[in-house]
């Protein structure tokens, strides 16, 4: 049986390097010529003899070094055997996480702020912050490393059936936040918000629910346009433009004068502002040009500025206007700005081919189609939008 505990504190103080003193059981003291001394543990692992540094003497005393060596030997004697190097790394990570303690809310706030810099839609930041503030409030002040899967479940269970779409979004956002925290050393071990092999055993999988933005009924469009013409608010002008151009709310609200070519009657939405990441040229009819011309004296480069901030108008302003109009979808819900695109698409089925209608909406076509059809059918779309404008304004 190997002899251990051979060294004494006197031996350690008096030894001069270079030398290596064996304490036994894999523990040794390495003395260097310059006078420094450090502890090393050597062991057998899969045919090799790895060495792990245990720290410098006298910061790590003889007794402390022996305690570490004894712990390593117990790992090696366990069933199954555990690699001391791996186990010490785990302990070091836990210690690091404890030293770098930060609450879930603090880390989430920093994460969202940094991530939002790459989002095209600034409303996403508000949605992230709002959903987490409401539905993750029970873990907001808790150290992020101490949050368990049970804690995450407690956040999700109250909303899992009642508002499933929101619940799934909150889960996805929490999972991303915990992944980032693990990468930065704030969380050790498994991501507590992981679905597969974790939460899926406690939360039943929800059936995919198809949802659409409440769209105005096609027969109501001319009356809605007439109602819009009676409103003086800037939001009404914005809805008029997005209705006649079949563009998205964010594209219309974010329009700047530099994008408008008044001579060619074309609005070019840059790729960074479109949903599909491709530049979209929008032909402008005489009615749209008239609206834009009336707004052109507005100070600044933003076509539809907010009345309360220095930026573009918010989607909430358009939503509020549509609700005030008292027009409803087929399902009896108040219409939304995005629902205007659905009305156009329904109308376009009777007045244009599939490709022209999809291009007018700025939808991304398949890679194969794009590789052969490289134009954007601007002339055909201009004729289509003129017909649409005539229909929309038929009651004026």
What is the pLDDT at residue 93? 67
Provide the CATH number for the domain around residue 196: 1.10.150.130
Number of domains forming the structure of the chain: 3
pLDDT of res. 139: 94
CATH number at residue 54: 3.30.160.390
The verdict on pTM exceeding 0.75 is no
- Residues 294, 267, single domain; the answer is yes
Q: Give the model's pLDDT for residue 210.
A: 47
User: Which of 85, 118, 143 is the last residue before a domain boundary?
Assistant: 85
Domain of residue 62: give its range. 9-85
Q: Domain holding 338: CATH number?
A: 1.10.443.10
Residue 193 counted as domain residue:
yes
Is 169 inside a domain boundary? yes
Q: What angle do CA 309, 310, 312 make, to 5 degrees?
A: 85
Q: Are 227 and 369 in the same domain? A: yes
- Tens digit of pLDDT at every position of the chain (396 positions): 467 888 899 989 888 878 999 998 899 999 998 889 999 999 999 888 988 888 899 888 999 999 999 989 999 888 888 988 888 887 776 666 555 678 899 899 989 988 888 776 667 888 899 899 999 999 999 988 889 999 999 999 988 888 888 888 999 999 999 999 888 878 878 899 998 888 888 888 765 554 567 889 999 999 999 999 999 999 999 999 999 999 999 999 999 999 999 999 999 999 888 888 889 999 999 999 999 999 987 788 999 998 888 789 999 999 999 999 989 988 888 999 988 998 999 899 888 888 888 899 888 765 544 444 456 789 999 999 999 999 999 987
State which of 85, 114, 136 marks the end of a domain.
85
Residues 311 and 187 in one domain: no
Q: Is residue 357 situated within a structural domain?
A: yes
| CA dist., res. 188 & res. 311, Å (int) | 41
Does residue 94 lie in a domain region? Answer: no
Does residue 246 form part of some domain? yes
Q: Are residues 57 and 181 in the same domain?
A: no
**Domain for residue 208, yes or no?**
no
Q: Are residues 18 and 71 in the same domain?
A: yes
273 plus 368 within the same structural domain? yes
Give the pLDDT of residue 201. Answer: 84
Same-domain check for residues 144 and 238: no
Q: Are 235 and 173 in a shared domain?
A: no
Residue 118: per-residue pLDDT: 78
Both 250 and 303 in a single domain? yes
What pLDDT score does 47 carry? 83
**Is the same domain home to 358 and 225?**
yes
Task: Evaluate whether residue 112 is within a structural domain.
Answer: yes
- Whether 91 maps to a domain, the answer reads no
Q: Tell me, yes or no, whether 260 and 155 share the same domain.
A: no
**Shared-domain flag, residues 227 and 302:** yes
């Amino acid at each position: 049986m190997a002899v251990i505990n051979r060294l004494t504190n006197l031996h350690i103080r008096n030894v001069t390097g270079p030398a290596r003193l064996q304490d036994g059981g894999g523990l040794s003291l390495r003395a260097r010529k310059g006078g420094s001394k450090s502890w090393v543990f050597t062991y057998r692992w899969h045919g090799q003899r790895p060495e792990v540094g245990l720290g410098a003497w006298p910061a790590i005393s003889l007794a402390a070094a022996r305690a570490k060596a004894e712990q390593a030997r117990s790992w090696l004697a366990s069933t199954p055997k555990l690699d001391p190097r791996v186990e010490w790394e785990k302990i070091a990570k836990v210690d690091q996480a404890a030293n770098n303690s930060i609450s879930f809310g603090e880390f989430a706030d920093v994460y969202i702020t940094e991530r939002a810099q790459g989002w095209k839609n600034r409303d996403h930041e508000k949605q992230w912050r709002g959903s987490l503030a409401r539905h993750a409030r029970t873990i907001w002040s808790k150290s992020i490393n101490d949050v368990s899967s049970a804690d995450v479940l407690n956040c999700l269970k109250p909303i899992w059936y009642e508002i499933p779409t929101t619940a799934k979004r909150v889960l996805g956002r929490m999972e991303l936040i915990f992944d980032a925290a693990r990468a930065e050393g704030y969380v050790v071990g498994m991501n507590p918000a992981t679905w597969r092999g974790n939460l899926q055993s406690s939360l039943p999988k929800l059936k995919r629910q198809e949802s659409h933005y409440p769209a105005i009924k096609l027969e109501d469009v001319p009356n809605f346009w007439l109602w819009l013409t009676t409103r003086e608010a800037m939001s009404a002008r914005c809805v008029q433009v997005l209705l006649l151009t079949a563009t998205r709310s964010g594209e219309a609200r974010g329009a700047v004068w530099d994008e408008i070519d008044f001579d060619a009657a074309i609005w070019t939405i840059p790729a960074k502002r479109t949903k599909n990441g491709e530049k979209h040229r929008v032909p402008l009819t005489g009615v749209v040009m008239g609206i834009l011309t009336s707004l052109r004296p507005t100070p600044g480069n933003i076509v539809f500025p907010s009345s309360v901030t220095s930026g573009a108008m918010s989607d909430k302003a358009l939503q509020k206007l549509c609700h005030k109009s008292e027009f409803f979808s087929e399902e009896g819900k108040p219409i939304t700005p995005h629902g205007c695109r659905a009305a156009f698409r329904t109308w376009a089925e009777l007045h244009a081919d599939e490709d022209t209608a999809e291009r007018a909406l700025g939808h991304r076509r398949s890679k194969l189609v794009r590789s052969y059809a490289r134009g954007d059918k601007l002339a055909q779309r201009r004729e289509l939008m003129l017909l649409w404008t005539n229909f929309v304004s038929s009651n004026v």
